[in-house]
């Protein structure tokens, strides 16, 4: 058996399946059997071996908005109700999965479940099996330690019930480094709202450690549209940026006490800065098309170099609405001559929304001032 498994937000299986199907068509995949059970938090696609090769060579997790993790399926394993549950898993790992990896070992091993309330009941079972599977892999020398193994594919065992496990593989350069594609972030006690985790996760997902060090620098200028009570401003201040917070509401007193924030009681849709800012962020609750138009104006007119914003999705046709907004954004940037990088992802800390990151390429060095 061969195919694809993606982790998604519970309730968004259909949107993720539509998006994945579209990208598989672009890859030249001609046939597939797609299983997207409502509220299962995963989508499983069965492919022929040839179509699997096509998909694996072209499909990129970074291009998938509604997918948290991209895994390559080797087999469904049915575990016995009692007794030895490890041997059947190891047989697939050292057989079909190792062949799929195209190597003699793996860089690591995750045992995980879909992100649903019902799957939490399987957590204890996963933990008990994890130790036994790890010991077996170590005995077979299939998970060597050290930097030399870091580039090798990673084993993911996805337990969907107490008797069914999907044995899958993750390519380390085309997958999320976190179990189930979920970064484990702690809510800062001093943050004014839990929405702060949305922006923190966006930094981790879109930038990664190296770009975070280069693009989140003390002294940079930033604007937070619709800032109150200050969850996103909190993250910008955390990186010692000079922040202009735009909102008619009240901003958290502790944030104002940092001396890094100027609070302007103005309309987020009409405010524009005098000079180009390094960052503009926006978590305003409004129709996605209206937010997209606002972002287009900021980017095309050169008001910001980087932006992260959220699109609050409608009840129906969420994939279609997201695609429409992103296509409009790309088209307007192209028409204006702006060279931009655009990425979008439904993050773990998002709910019925999608987070978008846009960075504008710097002007070529011609000896002239900007």
- Catalytic residue positions, numbered: 312
**111: closest CA among 99, 123, 94?**
123
Q: Which residues neighbour 135 within 8 Å (Cβ) at sequence distance 6 or greater?
A: none
* CB-based contact 183:204 (threshold 8 Å): yes
* Rounded Cα–Cα distance for residues 154 and 197 (Å): 27
User: If DSSP codes are grouped into helix, strand and coil, which group holds residue 161?
Assistant: strand
- The end-to-end CA distance of the chain, in Å, is 56
340 φ, ψ (degrees, to nearest 5): -130, 155
* CB-based contact 57:338 (threshold 8 Å): no
* Rounded Cα–Cα distance for residues 246 and 225 (Å): 5
Sheet of 242-246, strands arranged across: 261-264, 242-246, 221-225, 277-282, 304-312, 353-360, 340-345
């Amino acid at each position: 058996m061969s195919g694809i498994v993606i982790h998604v937000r519970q309730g968004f299986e259909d949107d993720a399946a539509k998006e994945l199907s579209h990208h598989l068509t672009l890859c030249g995949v001609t046939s597939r059997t797609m299983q997207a059970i409502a509220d299962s938090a995963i989508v499983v696609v069965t492919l022929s071996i040839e179509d699997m090769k096509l998909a694996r060579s072209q499909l990129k997790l970074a291009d998938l908005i509604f997918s948290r993790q991209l895994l390559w399926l080797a087999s469904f394993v049915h575990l016995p109700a009692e007794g030895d549950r490890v041997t059947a898993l190891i047989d697939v790992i050292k057989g079909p999965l190792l062949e799929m990896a195209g190597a003699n070992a793996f860089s690591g091993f995750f045992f995980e479940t879909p992100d649903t309330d019902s799957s939490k009941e399987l957590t204890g079972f996963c933990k008990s099996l994890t130790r036994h599977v790890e010991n077996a892999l170590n005995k077979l020398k299939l998970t060597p330690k050290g930097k030399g193994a870091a580039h090798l594919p990673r084993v993911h065992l996805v337990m969907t019930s107490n008797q069914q496990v999907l044995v899958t593989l993750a390519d380390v350069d085309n997958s999320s480094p976190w179990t189930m594609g979920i970064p484990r972030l702690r809510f800062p006690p001093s943050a004014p709202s839990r929405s702060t985790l949305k922006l923190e996760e966006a930094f981790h997902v879109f930038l990664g450690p190296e770009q975070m060090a280069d693009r989140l620098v003390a002294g940079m200028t930033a604007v937070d549209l619709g800032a109150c009570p200050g969850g996103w401003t909190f993250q910008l201040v955390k990186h010692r940026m000079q922040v202009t917070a735009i909102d008619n509401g009240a901003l958290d007193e502790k944030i104002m006490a940092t001396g890094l924030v100027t609070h302007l009681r103005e309309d987020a849709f009409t405010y524009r800065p005098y000079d180009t800012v390094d960052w503009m962020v926006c978590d305003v609750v409004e129709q996605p098309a209206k937010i997209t138009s606002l972002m287009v104006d900021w980017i095309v007119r050169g008001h910001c170099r980087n932006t992260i914003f959220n699109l609050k999705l409608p009840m129906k046709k969420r994939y279609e609405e997201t695609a429409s907004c992103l296509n409009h954004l790309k088209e307007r940037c192209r028409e204006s001559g702006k060279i931009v990088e655009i990425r979008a992802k439904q993050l773990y800390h998002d709910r019925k929304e999608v987070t978008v990151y846009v960075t504008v390429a710097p002007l070529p060095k011609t000896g002239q001032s900007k």
